[in-house]
Amino acid sequence: MSEALQAVVTAAETVHDHPWLLAVAGVILLVVLVLRSPAGGACSSRDPRRTFTSAERAQAFARAGMRCEHKSMFWSRCTNTATQGDHIFPWSHGGRTAMSNQQALCAFHNNRKSGSVPTRMYIIRLQRRRRRYFPPEETARIEWRLGAAI
Ligand SMILES: [Zn+2]
């Protein structure tokens, strides 16, 4: 018997002996699927205002400590200076042009993110990180449409 087939047989025997493992695996899979799903559905109506004002961008840079807010899953926060105000939930998908939907990014990370819709996990992680570096008077809550938050 090949090693791969033996591994499958062993896994099947383990599940047979402990059927609750399937329920645990199902719950874990469900949580992962929800967290990796896009945060919010696209909206056909667009905010009439496309870009942030220079004052809004300056405020976003200041509350982020003048640093890019991007953080990949396994690395620390980007150390580049924030130079661009990004719609967290893209304007092209119905995200509004408001401080609650703006993040400060460096040119590299804003270009890489482009118009992609963030996942729920992205939103949750960004909100959690922001509580550490945002000034106390700034809310870390991300809201891309009125009343629409995660
Ligand atoms: Zn960056």
Q: Which two tokens stand for residue 99?
A: 């401080």
**Ranges of each domain in the chain:** 3-35, 54-149
For strands 143-145 and 148-149, give the pairing. Answer: antiparallel
**Between residues 81 and 8, the one the model is more confident about:** 81
CA–centroid distance, 13 to ligand 1, in Å, is: 48
Share of the chain above pLDDT 90, in %: 51
Q: Kindly report, residue by residue over 83-100, the tens digit of the pLDDT.
A: 999 999 999 888 899 999
Share of the chain above pLDDT 70, in %: 93
Span from the CA of 50 to the centroid of ligand 1 (angstroms): 22
**Residues less than 5 Å from ion ligand 1, measured at CB:** 68, 70, 78, 80, 106, 109
Selected residue with higher pLDDT from 71 and 147: 71
Residues contacting 139, CB < 8 A, separation 6+: 100
Q: Identify the bridge partners of residue 149 per DSSP, sorted by sequence position.
A: 143
By the 8 A CB rule, do 87 and 101 touch?
Answer: yes
| Span 94-150, pLDDT tens digits | 889 999 999 999 999 999 998 889 999 999 999 999 999 999 999 999 988 765 555
Distance 107 CA to ligand 1 centre (A): 7
- Mean pLDDT, to the nearest integer, of 34-38? 76
Q: How confident is the model at residue 38 (pLDDT cuts 50, 70, 90)?
A: confident
With a cut of 60, say whether residue 5 has pLDDT above it: yes
Alpha carbon of 104 to ligand 1 centroid (Å): 9
Going from the Cα of 22 to the center of ligand 1, the distance in angstroms, rounded, reads 40
User: Would the pLDDT of 79 be above 90?
Assistant: yes
Expressed in angstroms and rounded, the spacing between residue 80 Cα and the centre of ligand 1 is: 5
Residues paired with 55 in a beta bridge: none
Average pLDDT on 1-7 reads 83
pLDDT, mean over the chain:
88
pLDDT at position 47 is 86
C-alpha span between 61 and 23 (Å, rounded)? 45
Q: What is the pTM of this model?
A: 0.76
